[in-house]
Amino acid sequence: MAASPPSPRLLPAIVTAGGRLSGPLTESAGTSIKALAPLGGRPLVAHVLDALRASGRVGTVAVVGPRGHLAEAGIEGHAPLLVDEGQTGPENILRGLRALAELHGSGGKNDGHVLLSATDVPFLTGDSVRALVEAAEADAADADIVFPILHRRDYESRFPGSPNEYARLRDGELTGGSVQLVRPSAIEANLPLIEKAFAARKSQVAMARLLGLPFILRFLTRQLTVAQAEEQASRLTGCRCRALVVRDARLAADIDSVADYDYARGVWDAHHHHGRGAAENPGGGTAPRGRHGT
């Protein structure tokens, strides 16, 4: 009788749930805590946790954010490890890594990949997460940081009319995913640089400035390539950085503005209006009616 194939390795995961909303988006969501903004009657972070659990490739999940508010919303029952937030996003990642290391008694010595997910990717599915992990294992197993990117055509084939923004490179118009794989040593060795990158993350030009003048010029003239970005990131961090081209837009569909939130609610409503099951995650490519749809 043939032996059963070994079970796939389960990755520990960190969900960064410390982000705050402001202005009109706070009013629209009814909360200042992004993780708790409702979609389909549930907090955004609950959809993410469902996807991680359904993937079959994720083990312990640490949710890092305002612990009291998350516990009050019932998130503690969905995540084995709820970690109180620090002052910044990168600090929250570090807190999550240390909590995972303490829980597993590794003393920080386990340097396999950890999956990082934002809290505002509500259309993420188990299939999305599993496919990303398998692609990273196949094509970027030696990388310290694996960052998924998508072409605009692939994003808009699933989310037509989306207000999503894109970086224009020589390779095409691209957008980044909100789920990554990293080695703990890469985060700990580069925390100051990550803090600077985090502060610049909303500005493509500010991010390019951080990476150097030649990088800026190539970016602004649309001569920058993905390979050059990988090379520069690897040089600055001293780590092996890999931009992994994927096609599943659910890895990148996040919520940073009222337009994003309106669009996400439109996708959700259109999905259920067409009679699909309540437990099934939307995002199948039908544009919602209204402001961004046709």
Domain spans in the chain, listed from the N-terminal domain onward: 11-269
* pLDDT tens sequence across 37-83: 999 999 999 999 999 999 999 999 999 999 999 999 999 777 669 99
Which fold does the domain 11-269 belong to in CATH?
A: Spore Coat Polysaccharide Biosynthesis Protein SpsA; Chain A (3.90.550)
Lowest-pLDDT range, 48-57, 94-103, 152-161, 271-280?
271-280
**pTM tops 0.95:** no
C-alpha 153: how far from chain center: 19
Q: Would you list the DSSP string of 87-150?
A: SSHHHHHHHHHHHHHHHHT-TT---S-EEEEES--TT--HHHHHHHHHHHHHH-TT-SEEEEEE
Q: What is the mean pLDDT of residues 74-95?
A: 88
What whole-number percentage of the chain has pLDDT above 70? 86
